[in-house]
Amino acid sequence: MVTPTAAQEKVRDHDGLALLVVAPAGCGKTEALALRVAGLIDRNVTDGARKVLVTTFSNRARDNIRDRLRSYLSSPALRDRVSVTNFHGLSARIFRAHARVIGLDPEMELPESDWVREQCLSWGWGWDWITLSEEALRLAKQQPLDDAGVDAFLGERGATGALQLEQQRLAENRLTYDDLPRVAELILANDAVAELYRNHFGAVIVDEFQDLTPQQLRIVNRIGLAKTTYAGDLAQGIYGFAGAQPTQIDAAIRAECPDVIEFAESHRSSPAVLGMVNSLNGLTGGLTLTSARRESWPGGGLAAGIAFNDAAQEGQWAVQFARFILECAPQQRIGIICRNGPRRETVDAIAEQSGLPVYRWDDGVLDTETARLMKIMLVRLNAAEALAAADPLQYLREAAKLGTIADTDTRRFLADALVWCLDKLRDGMTPLQIRDRIKVGDQDTLLTVAGLHLLSGHVGKGQQFDWVVVVGAEDGVIPDWRSNTQAAKLEDARVLSVMLSRARHGVVVTYATRIADKYGRVRAKQGTPYYSHLRAAPFTDAVGVQRFLETADWAAIAAR
């Protein structure tokens, strides 16, 4: 069992039920929440048949906090006193139990994959039309609207594609992921149902509060107003495109919670990395972090910024940086992270030819069991037959025997991976080439395996690497050229902060002064305007990076 810090003990022992815990990345938030649940149970908040409801945004976060809870609670107490779920799981539970309250069939098919995207692909829609339709549906369904209200909302905006998808959904008697919180909110508008849940849950825990949409906060409030512990960090709020509104949510929670506990000690990152993260606090609203044990980091860690002539030079340097580290300490994990996938393509191509162990996170398979099932399916897949099928995606689902899988999470992960697989087949890749892209083994996952990892800033949220290279840090990428409002630009600053804070030992931010567009035209580029903030932190250049690597105590680094 981990010895709690003073801040974690304060969270555990806090008497009030309404509490805001501000815990930046690497500060022990998950441990604090597990302690909080144990403390609530010790204080008889779950007397009678009541439970503590713990809500997360992902299955991985759900499983992580459940694992930590096992350190503090017996199996019977965890089973009988705690309910750990993600928001979609909670919404599905409410729907199944009370659908008839709003006149819906409780046997409607629940989502196991991104049905909207799959339907668009099966109809052969282009990406622009898909994006417009998905956005219209998301906006409609984050309102407390019934089915007729959704139709009216879409009709008023002339969202023809979204209306077509909605008609198909109703014809198939199914719900999508966006429907689940919508119908849960409609059901909880019934006072009798809401009171049932308020009585059943003596307290509520919300992980990563900054990722809440206003709709999700309304659901939480109907169940646990004034008895909810919210934990997270405003500086990690990077899901505005999905409807999250970090600043608005933060203000609402602070109005609800009379008490705030802030964590300021990082147990993840070196002092050098924390200096880079702290330099952005004026933009992100983050806390100033200190290292819990400064003296334990060999050399104090590494922070650097480097400009290159072009993307190829940048990519070659980043891969050589990873090669040097892996030769000195083979079990290290190096993340090459970019604001978006297309800007990272040059690095990806160089990495794939490097001979290093390379893991591309946007290849659609992040789960070991999913990887195993995909590999089995691809060995015997006839690509030509699959693409010629009336419904290629259904062909792949049957080839992978998706219908025989009972576990909900495995079904969802596999369904998502099959959409990715179909995209690759349509791009001309063979089943063998796709299989070779699935490099997760039977013993390791992308979350643990050593080597060079290629990913985007959003995918990397919640993860950690020993070293991080943030590539493509040009103006137009960070902030994105489409970020034309102050709020969008500040969110991109938070994306940069998230990418930096993935690093344990060291982080290097790079950019190219010339970039060729897809037509081969070369354009001059400048570094991100956030560089002026990064320069406020002590960081070195390419020469300093080389000096650090050559003089580092690699045995101590590998042991840290």
**pLDDT score for 440:** 61
Locate 331 and state its tokens. 């079990």
Q: What is the DSSP letter of 17?
A: S
Which listed CATH number (3.40.50.300, 3.10.20.30, 3.10.20.600, 1.10.3720.10) goes with 6-90+186-263? 3.40.50.300
**pLDDT score for 164:** 97
Q: pLDDT digit string (tens) for 211-245?
A: 999 999 999 999 999 999 999 999 999 988 889 99
Q: Reading across the β-sheet that carries 259-262, which strands appear in turn?
A: 82-86, 51-56, 201-207, 228-232, 19-22, 259-262
CA distance 305 to 494: 18
Q: Are 46 and 78 in contact (CB under 8 A)?
A: no
Report the Cα–Cα distance between both ends of the chain, in Å, rounded. 19
Pairing of strands 19-22, 358-360: unpaired
Closest of 47, 29, 40, 58 to residue 459, by C-alpha? 58
CA distance 276 to 524: 26
CA distance 454 to 441: 17
CA distances to 22, 33, 88, 125, 217 from 229, in Å: 11, 9, 19, 43, 12
Hunting for tokens 């107490």 — which residue is that? 77
Model confidence pTM above 0.85: no
**CATH number attached to the domain at 271-357+450-559:** 3.40.50.300
Q: pLDDT digit string (tens) for 379-438?
A: 999 999 999 999 999 999 999 998 787 665 677 778 888 988 998 899 899 999 998 878
Closest of 478, 461, 16 to residue 232, by C-alpha? 461
Query: Would you say the C-alpha torsion 262, 267, 269, 272 has a positive or negative sign?
Result: positive
CB atoms within 10 A of CB 353: 10
Is residue 277 helix, strand or coil?
A: helix
Burial of 126 (0-12, 13-18, 19+ CB in 10 A): exposed
Q: What is the DSSP letter of 529?
A: T
Pairing of strands 82-86, 290-291: unpaired
**pLDDT score for 505:** 97
CA distances to 254, 286, 491, 514 from 494, in Å: 20, 9, 5, 25
Backbone angles phi, psi at 402, to 5 degrees: -60, -35
Residue burial 521-537, b: 16+ Cβ < 10 Å; e: rest: eeeebebbebbebbeeb
Q: Are 234 and 23 in contact (CB under 8 A)?
A: no
Closest of 271, 262, 268, 210 to residue 235, by C-alpha? 210
User: Rounded to 5, what percent of the chain is helix, strand, coil?
Assistant: 50, 15, 30
Closest of 236, 277, 212 to residue 463, by C-alpha? 236
**pLDDT score for 442:** 47
**pLDDT score for 380:** 93
**pLDDT score for 518:** 74
Burial of 338 (0-12, 13-18, 19+ CB in 10 A): buried
**pLDDT score for 458:** 85
At a CB cut-off of 8 Å and minimum separation 6, what does 101 contact? 187, 190, 193
Per-residue pLDDT of the chain (560 residues; tens, 9 = 90+): 678 889 999 999 999 999 999 999 889 999 999 999 999 999 999 888 899 999 998 766 777 788 889 999 999 999 999 999 989 889 989 999 999 999 999 999 888 778 899 899 899 999 899 999 999 999 999 999 999 999 999 999 999 999 999 999 999 999 999 999 999 999 999 999 999 999 999 999 999 999 999 999 999 999 999 999 999 999 999 988 889 999 999 999 999 999 999 999 998 999 999 999 999 999 998 999 999 889 999 999 999 999 999 999 999 999 999 999 999 999 999 999 999 888 999 999 999 999 999 988 876 565 677 888 999 999 999 999 999 999 999 999 999 998 787 665 677 778 888 988 998 899 899 999 998 878 665 445 667 889 999 999 888 887 899 999 999 999 999 999 888 888 889 999 999 999 999 999 999 999 999 998 777 788 999 999 999 999 888 889 999 999 999 999 999 999 99
